[in-house]
Structure 1
Amino acid sequence: MARRKQLEALFLPLLLLAAVPAARADEGGVSFWLPGQFGSLAAVPGAPGWSLPMVYIHESVSGGGGKEFPRGGRIVAGLDSRVDLVLLVPSYTFPQPVAGGQAALAMGIGGGHMRTSIDATLTGPLGNSTSGSQTDTLDGAADLYPQGSLKWNNGVHNTMAYVMGGVPVGSYAKGRLSNIGTNHWSLDGGGGYTYLDPKAGREFSAVAGLTYNFENPDTNYRNGIDGHVDWAASQFFTKTVHAGLVGYFYQQLSGDSGSGATLGDFKSRVAAIGPQVGWFFDGGGKKYYANAKAFWEFGEKNRAAGWNLWLSLVVPLSSK
């Protein structure tokens, strides 16, 4: 029992990274939901009080010259995009039980740099076309991402329910290739499970959810309902270091719609897998947690694909 409590106390900072939101431009098979947001120990209850998870995300994707995508109210091809985002997620975990579980609230804020290039025919909203390459860069703010969760523990079994929203206040302009904001409201929710054996230092987590997207009023484009599964598995090799695998699967369940959806339902999908490593360290009498994970994507359809890197740091703000 003492060993179990020791490991659970060690894991607490990691749990705060379970649902870090990230912003992406929407439409054309690119979702409000950024796959890979959930990770190890996603459903395990955490430490009460305030904390500040900080996340850096680098993403590099391409669509190939033969693939067409709606972007900013026009059709483009030969898409290549690089994104660097920095996100802060001030979070509060309630000490009092709610519905027999542990409740937490958070707000994701941030911004970053995006560079998008195309090298093919461009089709405007009135049907006029021009040929040639084009590059667009943007430094701007992301949307706001409020979120809430409930978690329950029963021995080695842990379950959770969560809800997350997208508030369209980020940098966006119709006709621009690079947009960090989505310019539409979104709502995502789901549940997850974590098997945690503190004695052996092993865990496996999986979280599934659905995203409902509202219409972009500037382009009259509405993404369909999305389904996604994030998973992670790790082994603690010491009391402070663990490593393992992470992955995700994303599938659009219903087609895109609206007068701006000129390519039809344009259902998209993608999967990914990669390594992760995490470590705990002390500072000022508090326990910090850092994590690095990378994903290589495959099996994509109607979606630009490539690789992405996540670097995370959880800063505890409460005294305990």
Structure 2
Amino acid sequence: MNANLNASVDLALLNATYVFATPVLGGQASATLMGIYGANTTTLNGLVTGTLATPLGSIPFSRSDSISDSVTGFGDLIPQFALRWNAGVHNYMTYITGDIPVGAYQSSRLANIGLGHGAIDAGGGYTYFNPQAGHELSGVLGFTYNFKNTDTQYQSGVDMHFDWGASQFLSKQVQVGLVGYFYQQLGCDSGSGDRVGCFRSRVGGVGPQIGFIFPLGDMQGYLNLKGYKEFAAEHRPEGWNAWVTFVISPAAPPPAVTPTKHVITK
């Protein structure tokens, strides 16, 4: 038996961030709430082949079938709290975030927007940025604890994700470079609904990026385009994805790398 899963997901992510004026632990604190709206179309193709033993001999057989599903709606809410510190060309950050499972989800549906369970994610990052030379190098490492899906009685194991980016500012307004990520599930899946055993998943991605900084009235605009080609996938889909990020802020744009929202398809 062979099965092939194909998914096409288009998401719009809206972030609202408040930056606190009073320092916290010597750093700049911020609180963010992210909302998601999008569409997911998923198709599962299956092929069964074998041999039937009959009095007249063996007869090979083959049967194929496919099912598909699609959904459009709101995703989960994702709050985040972060602290950032600056020391010249060195920038540090730590964050804690989570997933509030209020998005479109049905356990009997092949395609979903919401995860169907809560999650807590925490980690830290570093950015080297030299404005004179125009060099920028960033990395964010995080770990996610997934709560049990009460509809399916299935719980995904703890996972690790590392996002990185390297870019060169060609001018004060334009940057080009590379971005990438690596996702690895560390813990085994569990729960009474687990019928497949440990089932650790993994995937990596790498691709180009380009960013633009421009004035926007009294504020500053930042537009970033990046794309990833995935590789080394295990127990999850592998393909490509593209992101367009638009930021309005009174200060310099955020680092090019932030924790990537990985859509878990378990």
Deviation of residue 315 (structure 1)?
2.3
Alignment of 1:1-320 (within 5 A): 66=2, 77-120=3-46, 132-316=65-249
Larger strand fraction of residues = 2
Larger helix fraction of residues = 1
1 CA distance for matches of 2:217 and 2:203? 42
2:92 and 2:127 in contact (8 A); partners too: yes
TM-score of the aligned structures, taking structure 2 as reference length: 0.86
SS in 2 for 1:275: strand
Question: For the aligned residues, what is the CA RMSD?
Answer: 1.7
Higher RCO (Cα < 8 Å, 6 or more apart): 1
- 2:57 matched residue in structure 1: none
SS in 1 for 2:197: coil
SS in 2 for 1:132: strand
Aligned pair count reads: 237
2 CA distance for matches of 1:174 and 1:285? 47
Deviation of residue 152 (structure 1)?
0.8
TM-score of the aligned structures, taking structure 1 as reference length: 0.71
5+ residue gaps, structure 1, are 1-64, 67-76, 123-129
Deviation of residue 316 (structure 1)?
3.3
Deviation of residue 98 (structure 1)?
0.5
SS in 2 for 1:287: strand
Deviation of residue 102 (structure 1)?
0.5
SS in 1 for 2:239: strand
1 CA distance for matches of 2:163 and 2:217? 33
5+ residue gaps, structure 2, are 49-62, 252-266
2 CA distance for matches of 1:87 and 1:156? 30
2 CA distance for matches of 1:204 and 1:317? 23
2:31 aligned partner, one-letter code:
L
2 CA distance for matches of 1:171 and 1:117? 18
1:208 aligned partner, one-letter code:
L
